[in-house]
Amino acid sequence: MESSPAPRSTTALVVRVDARQCEVLLDGEMRAALLRGRLFEERGTDKSPVAVGDQVTISYENDDIAIDAVQERRNTFARRVAGEDYDLRQVLATNVDQVVVVNSVGVPPFSSIVADRILTTCSFAGIPAVVVLNKIDKSKPRKLERISESYRSAEVQVLQTSAITGDGMDDLLEVLRDKTSVLYGLSGVGKSTLMNYIDPELKLETRETSNSLMSGRHTTTHSRWFPLAIGGAVIDTPGVRKFRPFGIPPHELRLHFAEMRELGGECRFPACLHRDEPDCAVIAAHENGGVAKSRYRSYLELLEELESVYGGTGRNEIKDGPDHKARR
């Protein structure tokens, strides 16, 4: 009696994750793959052991594919899980070249607190970030420029786009070309519409935002990797209502706000938290208009939250609820 051949082993790219099953790109085809139980035993503080963008070792025999191990990650874009599992990390994407933070300046309204939290997470992870202000056809020019300048002064690249008029889309195409990018932002900011404009072959589902609630409706239900005709790929992510950074030590937060990092060298105390310390250059700049009020407000709110989770002088409580209620 002949013995059956041993399962073959190779590497593959994770392009979609859903519960205990995911899809991988193998020999140019999307294939369903199961996760070995030991991956969950070794996941540590991660909610799931595998994320979109992971290079994984798989074994396969006929049509049965299983993920055996996750290879070392170049970087990780993640957030803290909300609710009772606030000590867990939800990995949103790995091995990316940049995060494109998509915001709406129409409906839903622009939320500085969401943008600032995502940018802080990118800085902590060492991932370049770009801010996209979408739906500019619905925005007042003066407000649009004020928002843009608050991020340019923080050393962040800002794009102004509209998939309706086509404004700024060529700039977005060049930013995405030949790179692996994550598109991330609140529900309803127009991520799927932008992607359909960039690559009409994707034909992603879109839905109208709710004017009565001034918020978006979820269209994308899970993260997924898409190759782009212009080169590179985009990881489309579900819209969020809140974003909680994971693992940032409270005393390091000031280093992830670029405008505060530079000013911090002029403070009296080297470890100044820029909250209520005397002779604080950041507080002085904020009072004189040198630091955007929205950015400083985001910093103080996030500092208190991180202290409540990881220790410090902040209030010992976990705040919940949608971030987008804190708007400019």
pLDDT tens digits, 182-210? 999 998 999 989 999 998 887 776 655 54
* 126/59 same-domain check: no
Q: Is residue 306 part of a domain?
A: yes
* 140/226 same-domain check: yes
CATH number at residue 58: 2.40.50.140
The last residue of one of the domains, among 22, 53, 72, is 72
* 168/101 same-domain check: yes
Residue 271's pLDDT is 92
Q: Is residue 316 part of a domain?
A: yes
The HSE-up count of residue 23 (CA atoms within 13 Å, CB side) is 12
* 26/90 same-domain check: no
What is the residue range of 88's domain? 77-236
Nearest to 95 by CA among 20, 192, 35, 14: 14
pLDDT tens for the chain, 328 residues long, are 455 555 688 999 999 998 667 999 998 999 999 999 899 888 889 999 999 999 999 998 877 899 999 999 999 999 998 766 668 999 999 999 999 999 999 999 999 999 999 999 999 999 999 999 999 999 999 999 999 999 999 999 999 999 999 999 999 999 999 999 999 999 899 998 999 999 888 777 665 554 443 444 444 457 899 999 999 999 998 878 889 999 999 999 999 999 999 899 999 999 999 999 999 999 999 999 999 999 999 999 999 999 999 887 544 445 556 665 555 5
Q: Is residue 191 part of a domain?
A: yes
* 84/217 same-domain check: yes
Three-class secondary structure assignment of the chain: CCCCCCCEEEEEEEEEEECCEEEEEECCEEEEEEECHHHHHCCCCECCCCCCCCEEEEEEECCEEEEEEECCCCCEEEEECCHHHCCCEEEEEECCCEEEEEEECCCCCCCHHHHHHHHHHHHHHCCCEEEEEECHHHCCHHHHHHHHHHHHCCCCEEEECCCCCCCCHHHHHHHHCCEEEEEECECCCCHHHHHHHHCHHHCCCCCCCECCCCECCCCCCCCEEEECCCCEEEEECCCECCCCCCCCCHHHHHHHCHHHHHHHHHCCCCCCCCCCCCCCHHHHHHHCCCCCHHHHHHHHHHHHHHHHHHCCCCCCCCCCCCHHHCCC
* 68/81 same-domain check: no
Instruction: Report the number of distinct structural domains present in the chain.
Output: 3
20: left (phi over 0), alpha (psi -120 to 50) or beta: alpha
* 62/82 same-domain check: no
* 105/223 same-domain check: yes
pTM of the shown model: 0.89
Nearest to 182 by CA among 244, 116, 133, 122: 122
Q: Is residue 176 part of a domain?
A: yes
Residue 239's pLDDT is 76
**∠ CA 314-124-198 to the nearest 5 degrees?**
125
* 204/81 same-domain check: yes
Q: Is residue 189 part of a domain?
A: yes
* 211/262 same-domain check: no
**Calpha distance 155→255 (Å, rounded):** 13
297-318 per-position pLDDT tens digit: 999 999 999 999 988 754 444 5
95-115 per-position pLDDT tens digit: 999 999 999 999 999 999 999
CATH number at residue 289: 1.10.40.50
Average model confidence (pLDDT) across the chain: 88
CATH number at residue 206: 3.40.50.300
